[in-house]
Amino acid sequence: MESIHPDSLKIDQLGGTAAVARLFGIAQPSVTKWRRTGIPSARLMYLKLIRPDVFDGLSQDGPKAGHRFNADFSAQVPSSSLMSGVLATSKKADL
């Protein structure tokens, strides 16, 4: 029997395998693999940025008492044009 990685709970809190796959525009089997191997670090950094509630309110035992999660995070995902602006601004700041 394969072991489940602690990130599996985070995937559930983010809305499940299908929701996380849609967020990244990848196939569901890739996210299913993360349940065994863990969320890749670059993807994890992005998730922490857009959904800090999942990572700040999560302990080994699950969410903090009284903490509510919003599984519909599509409205919270930055558009690519917004992200382009953020990246362009940060590159200018480095000059």
* Residue appearing with tokens 């993807």: 43
Neighbouring C-alpha atoms within 13 Å toward the C-beta of 44: 12
For the chain, the domain total comes to 1
Average per-residue pLDDT for the chain: 75
Residue 73 CB contacts under 8 Å (≥ 6 apart), including other chains: 14, 15, 19, 23, 50, 51
Residue 35 sits in which domain range? Answer: 7-63+71-94
49 inside domain: yes
**CB-count exposure of residue 11 (10 Å: 0-12, 13-18, 19+):** buried
For residue 65 the two structure tokens come to 């008492």
- What pLDDT sits at residue 3? 83
pLDDT tens-place string over residues 66-91:
444 444 444 444 555 555 555 555 55
Examine the pLDDT at 22 and tell me if it is beyond 80: yes
2 inside domain: no
